[in-house]
Amino acid sequence: MANFPSLDEVLRVLGDIIDRPVTGDVALADLSVDSLDLLEWSFTLEDKFKLALGDELIAAVDYGKPLGEVYDAMLAVAERAQAHA
């Protein structure tokens, strides 16, 4: 998928924002990420990778899923967006 970031790249963007390393095993809730971090994270991903995040991502974040699963939700959103393009 053109321009779609790898999990490592997504986690690096978040890590830069919250100023600490992030792995795919950790849930956002465990990182003390707040609403402004999430806004900045989703904006940066959209700006950098042209990736608009959808409800699946928000739901995955709300339910405290590990970031690897959040990434899978992002991938699913991106795939559907590409299919509809």
Partner 1 sequence: MSAHPHPPMGLLDDPVAVTGIGVILPGAASAGEYWEVLLRGESRAATLSTVDTDGLRVRFGCQVHTDPTAVLSTRETNRMDRFSHLAMYAGLAAVQDAAPPAELDTDRCGVILGVGLNGMATFDREYRRFVSGQPIHPLFIPLAMPNAAAANLALRLGWYGPTLAVNTACSSSAYALGDAARLVAAGELDMALAGGVETPLNMLMLTAFAGLGALSTGNDEPHRACRPFDKDRDGFVLGEGAALCVLERLSSARRRGARPYALIAGYGRNGDAHHLVAPRADGDKARWCIAEALRDAGLTPAGIGHINAHGTATQANDVAEARAITAIFGESPPPVTATKGTIGHLIGGTAAAEAIACLLAIRHGLIPPTANFQTPDPQCPLDVVAGKPRELPPGAILSNSFAFGGHNAALVFAPAPE
List contacts with partner 1 (CB under 8 A).
Answer: 16-19, 36-37, 39-40, 42-43, 46-47
Q: Which is nearer to partner 1, 67 or 72 (CB)?
A: 67
How far, rounded to the nearest angstrom, does the alpha carbon of residue 30 sit from its chain's CA centroid?
A: 15
Q: Which is nearer to partner 1, 40 or 72 (CB)?
A: 40
CB of 47 to partner 1, least distance (A): 7
CA distance 31 to 27: 7
CB of 51 to partner 1, least distance (A): 12
